[in-house]
Structure 1
Amino acid sequence: MKRTIIAATAAALLASATFGIAAPNYRSAEHPRPSPEQMAENASAMTDARIAALKAGLRLTPDQEKLWPALETALRASADQRIEARKQWREEREARRGPEPRGPEEGGPGAPGGPLAEGPEGDIVARLQQRADRMLERGAALKGLADAAAPLYAMLDPAQQHRFNRLFREAEGPHMALRDGPRERRWEGHGPHRFGPPGPGMHRPPEPDAPEPL
């Protein structure tokens, strides 16, 4: 099953350099929210597909192939870091909510006249520290990725570099956003909205302090 997902996604990537996956409506009883293990497995399969598409699209020469393993290792490390950060954030969010989460509108923490929010969610300093830690971890992963990509990119011919520029964004994940100029603004979209009109249940804004999408 995993190999089928990888092959199908790689083919779609090479065809258009962008691809979308219809997001399930998590609010529907017919589409229950996947477990953390399922989400991690899906993310891993998509990482494999994106990396396979990048390598296939580049059509590396034998000399260029020698530099590929370092880039692939860095891509996987970057993806693993995002997956772990997302998992940790979900666990922290669930811990703050408790078994029966209640918001201000239900008389829970933060409601007028109700108890103050407790834990990291009510402690702005702790939340800033958590965000800083995540940014440092993400920065280290991106630095390693840039260092691994530079030697290979320097050996690519102009046509390969053009394909690399397009496919690398997908290999890094659909969250990839480069802001170097007006032409790059189209890559700033996050999530399924970037690939077309949103579907049911896809209008919810990202939650505060959430890690970047996978």
Structure 2
Amino acid sequence: MNAMSGNARVTVARRGLMLVLSSPSGAGKTTLSRRLLQRDRQLSMSVSVTTRTRRPGERDGVDYHFIDPARFQEMVAGDELLEHAKVFDHHYGTPAATVEEKLRAGSDILFDIDWQGTQQLRARAREDLVSIFILPPSQKDLEHRLYARAQDSAEIVARRMAKAADEMSHWAEYDYVAINDDVDACLEEVHSILRAERLRRNRRTGLVEFVKGLREI
């Protein structure tokens, strides 16, 4: 803890948090994640392992750690993953050691994962978790976004739309819900949640020392 004169703020040590954004494919969580990372330099993206192949423009170790199915199963068996899930025939997971190291250092980590992964994070690290579910304004808008990004075939889009209803049924399991009818407004809501959650008493591990110092004056 440091206290400085002038206009500088008092800095109180805190434990980092895990911020989860979940949504059906096409509802905008990837765009929101990217813009939130650009706006808030205290936040970094969790880099998951995955068994799927790289898409154009993706970089190994930056977007994902691309591994084969055998290595993925080794990580599951060795309890090396904080969460893992199978999505559209591919496996995804979060390396536990890296996350814990960042949380102890007071760093915040952003997760772009589905409801299955969020349930696992909640079971293992509820106090560190802040979860937000992003809803589209309508099914028509969701379908339009999926076609507009031109990454998947018509068959895949149809599969994602069919799965969207099931994904959205888990909205009530999240701490917060935001409707992405306007990306700027939705981004502001998400960032407000993050700023408020950083101030929770239980996360601010340096408060005991800080208050002790105040009482000794």
TM-score in terms of structure 2 length: 0.28
Larger relative helix fraction: 1
TM-score in terms of structure 1 length: 0.29
Larger relative strand fraction: 2
